[in-house]
């Protein structure tokens, strides 16, 4: 058998093997496993890099601050890196195939979930132009909906004032019509135009005089009512103006927030609507998500389908030695404790016998 000391592990291989979560001391004794674990470590490393970019972009859309995005992205990437290392290193190749499957299923579910989380922000970046266009459509739609809602609130709040104002204005129109009618009848009477309400005589006679008095009365009624209702109309106009002013201020403030509707959740909504409206977009997004899911679960699958190698036997041997050593230490400790208890009980028994003997003397 060739001496394993002739194999040289370079620094990059050593780093990738660390990324795989394997025991380096055991790997050094099984050089035929180096390439496999270096490949697994590379996948774990690149998954962490993609997770860093994904989280960094997501945080940049939330905080709009480059350094905050970089810091959180690195933190998230390190967490994914550590989690992936644990998932891969926790899969043992020893034991039955069915036990390996049962042990792998929850890890695969977790890996799929992580793949979805990592892929979404990167999808937003890849389809950034389309998402920005859809965001503008959503903003305009929200503004239109807001305007419709504001119009409804205006009608509801200003309705009683408008109704009362309309009633007063209608009453003024009635007074005005009565005055205009009296003026027409007076003119017909003076001109001698025959009608059911005029005498048909030209000139300012007794009938014309009565019609002039009626016209004057109608004018006074109109002016008195206008004068009487003027303060009330001013009050109603002021209340209606307040309603419009308050709601317009609220609308402008809300529109300002709508113009800033470009956060992470808003972009996810835009991406979802793009997928529903365009089958091509939905297919492309599915491919991207599938790619990252495959990337995330590939270390687990590689570990699952690979044959049992020297590293796995060495790992099982080492763990078994520790188990045996632990059992031996526990057994020895229990035996020593039992011996001490028995020795203590014997001493106690001897002391009692001496005490009884002394008492009898």
pLDDT value at residue 4: 46
Instruction: Annotate 47-75 with b (16+ C-beta within 10 A) or e (fewer).
Output: bbebbbbbbbbbbbbeeeeeeebeebbee
pLDDT value at residue 75: 92
Q: Check: CB of residue 30 under 8 Å from CB of residue 9.
A: no
Is the whole model's pTM more than 0.85, yes or no? no
Each of the 361 residues of the chain gets a pLDDT tens digit; together they read 444 445 677 888 889 888 888 888 888 888 888 888 888 888 889 888 888 888 888 788 777 788 888 998 899 889 888 888 888 887 777 666 777 777 778 878 877 887 888 788 888 888 888 888 888 888 888 878 877 877 777 777 777 878 888 888 898 899 888 888 878 777 766 665 656 555 556 656 667 677 778 888 888 888 888 888 888 888 888 888 888 887 777 777 776 666 666 677 788 888 888 888 888 888 888 888 888 888 878 877 777 777 777 887 888 888 788 888 888 888 888 888 877 887 777 777 777 777 766 666 6
What three-state secondary structure class fits 188?
helix
> What span, in angstroms and rounded, lies between the C-alpha atoms of 186 and 219?
13
**Which tokens hold the place of 326?**
């632990």
Q: Give the dihedral of Cα atoms 341, 347, 350, 355; nearest 10 deg.
A: -120
Give the closest residue to 277 by CA, choosing from 120, 143, 147, 127: 127
Instruction: Quickly list H helices, 260-309.
Output: 264-277, 279-305
pLDDT value at residue 256: 65
pLDDT value at residue 74: 92
Distance of CA 343 to the CA centre of its chain: 69
pLDDT value at residue 1: 41
Considering just the CA atoms, what is the radius of gyration of the chain in Å? 46
pLDDT value at residue 3: 46
pLDDT value at residue 6: 53
- Measured in residues, the chain has a length of 361
> What span, in angstroms and rounded, lies between the C-alpha atoms of 40 and 86?
12
């Amino acid at each position: 058998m060739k001496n394993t000391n002739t194999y040289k592990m370079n620094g990059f291989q050593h780093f990738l093997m660390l990324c795989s979560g394997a025991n380096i001391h055991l790997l050094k004794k099984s050089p035929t496993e180096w390439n496999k674990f270096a490949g697994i470590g590379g996948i774990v490393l690149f998954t962490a890099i993609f997770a860093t970019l994904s989280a960094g972009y997501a945080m940049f859309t939330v905080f709009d601050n480059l350094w905050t995005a970089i810091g959180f992205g690195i933190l998230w990437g390190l967490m994914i890196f550590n989690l992936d290392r644990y998932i891969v290193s926790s899969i043992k190749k020893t034991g039955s195939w069915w036990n390996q499957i049962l042990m792998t299923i929850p890890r695969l579910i977790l890996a799929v979930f992580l793949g979805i989380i990592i892929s979404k922000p990167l999808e937003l970046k890849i389809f950034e132009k389309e998402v920005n266009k859809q965001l503008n459509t959503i903003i305009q739609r929200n503004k239109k909906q807001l305007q419709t809602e504001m119009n409804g609130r205006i009608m509801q709040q200003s309705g009683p004032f408008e109704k009362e104002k309309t009633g007063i204005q209608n009453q003024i129109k009635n007074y005005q019509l009565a005055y205009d009618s009296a003026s027409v009848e007076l003119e017909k009477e003076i001109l001698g135009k025959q009608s059911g309400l005029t005498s048909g005589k030209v000139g300012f006679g007794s009938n014309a005089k009565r019609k002039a008095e009626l016209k004057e009365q109608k004018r006074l009624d109109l002016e008195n009512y206008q004068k009487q209702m003027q303060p009330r109309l001013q009050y109603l106009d002021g209340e209606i103006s307040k309603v419009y002013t308050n709601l317009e201020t609220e609308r402008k403030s809300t529109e300002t927030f709508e113009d800033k509707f470009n956060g992470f959740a808003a972009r996810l909504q835009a991406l979802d609507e793009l997928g529903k409206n365009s089958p091509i977009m939905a297919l492309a997004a599915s491919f991207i998500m599938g790619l990252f899911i495959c990337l995330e679960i590939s270390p687990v699958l590689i570990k699952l389908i690979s044959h049992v190698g020297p590293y796995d036997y060495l790992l099982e041997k080492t763990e078994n030695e520790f188990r045996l050593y632990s059992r031996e230490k526990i057994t020895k400790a229990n035996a020593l404790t039992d011996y001490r208890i028995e020795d203590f009980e014997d001493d106690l028994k001897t002391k009692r016998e001496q005490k009884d003997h002394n008492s009898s003397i």
